[in-house]
Amino acid sequence: MKFDNSLETYKQALDVIPMGTSTFSKNPNLFVIGGAPLFIKSANGCRLYDVDNNEFIDFSMALGPIILGYANEEVDKAAKAGIDDGLIFTLSCPEEAALAKKLTEIIPCSEMVRFCKNGSDVCEGAIRLARNYTGKLKVMTIGGYHGFHDWFIVSTPRKKGIPEVMAEWILPHNYNDIETIEKTIKERKDEIAALIMEPVINYEPNEGFLKRIRELTRENNIILIYDEMKTGFRLDIGGAQKYFNVIPDLAVFAKGLSNGFPLSVLTGKKYLMEQFEDENCFFSGSYATEKASLNAALKTIEILDRDRVIEHNWRIGSLLKNGIADIINKYNIGNFVKIVGFPVMSHFVITDYEGFTVNEIRSFIQEECAKRGVLFVGYHHTSFAHKEKDIEYTLKTYDEVFSIMINYINDKSLRNRINGKPISTFNIRKL
C-alpha cells in the first residue's frame, strides 16, 4: 500500500498550515507518516478513501460526529434543501425553534436552548451562565477536555499565550476520585461557580460517582454542567444524563447531533438559560442558525429514533469490544493492551512494554492495520453504517496484527518493523 500523495500533500500543507492541519487531533504526527493515510479524499458509510485511493474501515468517524455513517443520503438531502433555500438569512429561520423544541423533548435537563458551531464555544457559554448566576468565579473540572478557550486550556500544558493568573480560577480533579472532589467542594464551596465534566471519559464511572457529584453540587450552590460532546446521542438519544438518570443543570452537545454538519448546543434549566435575555450576559454567533445544519440535525434525530440506531450501535459495538477482549486474552497481552469503555465508544489503553514505548506499539498496530484496510486510531465510535461483516473483518485484522506484534516484541525486533515515521507527540517538520 502506497501513501505517496499523502506525503506530497503533507509537504505542501506544512508550508501554509501550522502542523499541516487546523484540527489538532488530525495532526499527521498522530499517524505513522509513510505507513498510514494522512489526508482523506472522500468517505461513504463507514469507509474512508484517501488521496492515494486506498480504502479503509473507519471507527473514529470524524472524531465522533458521524453517528449514521458518512454521506447519509437522507441527512445530506435535508441539508442541501437548506442550502437551496439560501442557507443563512438576516433573521432566524423557523427550523431553529423547531429543533430547540425537539431537544427540550428528548434531553432531560433541557428547558431552553442556544445554538453555536463548535464545542469550545458552548462550553464557554455554560461557564459564563454559571458564574453570572452564582456570583462566584472558580470552576472545577473532572478530567476530560472542554475546548481551547482560555478559561479551560490554562489548566493544561497547552497554555502558552494565556495569562497565568487565570489558572487560579480552575480546579482540576481526576475522574472517579470522589473523595478528593468532595473534599474540595466542602472546603471551597463559596468560591466554586460550576463543576463541568464529561459524564464518561474512557472508563465507566464508578458506582454512585455521578449521583454523588449531583448531590454535592446541588447542596452547595454549584452549577453542574455535563459536557456531552461524545456521549450525547450515543449512549442514549437523551445523552448520558438520560442513560444514568442523573440530571445536570446545564449541558453541551455537538457530536452525534447532526451527523457531521457543524452545530453545537448549550441547553439547560430555564432559570439559567434565560440570563441570556439580558444582553450584557452575552453569547452569540453569526453562523449559529444556518439552515443546512439545523435541517441535518432534525433529520438525524428523526432517523435515530425511527431506525433504532442507538440500539444497533450498542449491539455492533458489543460484538467488536467483546471480540477484542477475546483476542487480547488469546495472545495474553492484557498486561499492556486493554479495551475499556462502553461498546458504543470503546478505547484501547496501551502502555510501555518490554522496552518499547506506547507510541512504538501504537505505530506498529496502526501501520499493520492500514495494510489490511482498517484505520487504527485507538478507539471505536460505532455507527449505523457499521455492519457485522465490518466487525468480523476488523476482528480478523486485529487478530493477525496482535499475533505478529507479540512475536516481534518477544524477539525485540518491533521497533525495526515499523516502516514509516512513528507516531510523535510533537510536530517535527522533517519527513
In SS3 terms, the chain reads as CCCHHHHHHHHHHHHHCHHHCCCHHHCHHHCCECCECCCEEEEEECEEEECCCCEEECCCCCCCCCCCCECCHHHHHHHHHHHHCCCCCCCCCHHHHHHHHHHHHHCCCCCEEEEECCHHHHHHHHHHHHHHHHCCCEEEEECCCCCCCHHHHCCCCCCCCCCHHHHHHEEEECCCCHHHHHHHHHHHCCCEEEEEECCCCCCCCCCCHHHHHHHHHHHCCCEEEEECCCCECCCECCCHHHHHCCCCCEEEEECECCCCCCCEEEEECHHHHHHHHCCCCCCCCCCCCCHHHHHHHHHHHHHHHHCCHHHHHHHHHHHHHHHHHHHHHHCCCCCCEEEECCHHHEEEEECCECCECHHHHHHHHHHHHHHCCECCCCEECCCCCCCHHHHHHHHHHHHHHHHHHHHHHHCCCHHHHCCCECCCCCCCCCC
Q: What is the pLDDT of residue 54?
A: 98
pLDDT in tens, 36-64: 999 999 999 999 999 999 999 999 999 99
Which pLDDT score is estimated for 431?
42
Q: What is the rounded radius of gyration, in angstroms, for the C-alpha atoms of the chain?
A: 22
Distance, in Å, from the CA atom of 84 to the CA atom of 256, rounded to the nearest integer, reads: 24
Distance CA 387, CA 340 (A): 21
| Bridge partners of residue 47, in order along the sequence | 44, 57
Residues 6+ apart with CB under 8 A from 76: 296
pLDDT in tens, the chain (431 residues): 899 999 999 999 999 999 899 998 998 989 999 999 999 999 999 999 999 999 999 999 999 999 999 999 999 999 999 999 999 999 999 999 999 999 999 999 999 999 999 999 999 999 999 999 999 999 999 999 999 998 999 998 889 999 999 999 999 999 999 999 999 999 999 999 999 999 999 889 999 999 999 999 999 999 999 999 999 999 999 999 999 999 999 999 999 999 999 999 999 999 999 999 999 999 999 999 999 999 999 999 999 999 999 999 999 999 999 999 999 999 999 999 999 999 999 999 999 999 999 999 999 999 999 999 999 999 999 999 999 999 999 999 999 999 999 999 999 999 999 999 999 865 444 44
Residue-level pLDDT at 425: 66
Return the closest-CA partner of residue 220 out of 340, 138, 119. Answer: 138
Phi-psi region of 253 (alpha: psi -120 to 50; beta: other; left: phi over 0): beta
- Residue 51 CA, distance from chain mean position: 25
pTM, entire model: 0.95
Q: Which amino acid is at 280?
A: N
* 134: nearest Cα among 199, 200, 218, 201: 218
Q: Quickly count: other Cβ atoms within 10 Å of residue 117's Cβ.
A: 17
Q: Beta strands 264-268 and 250-253: pairing type?
A: antiparallel
Q: Is 200 in contact with 239 (CB distance < 8 Å)?
A: no
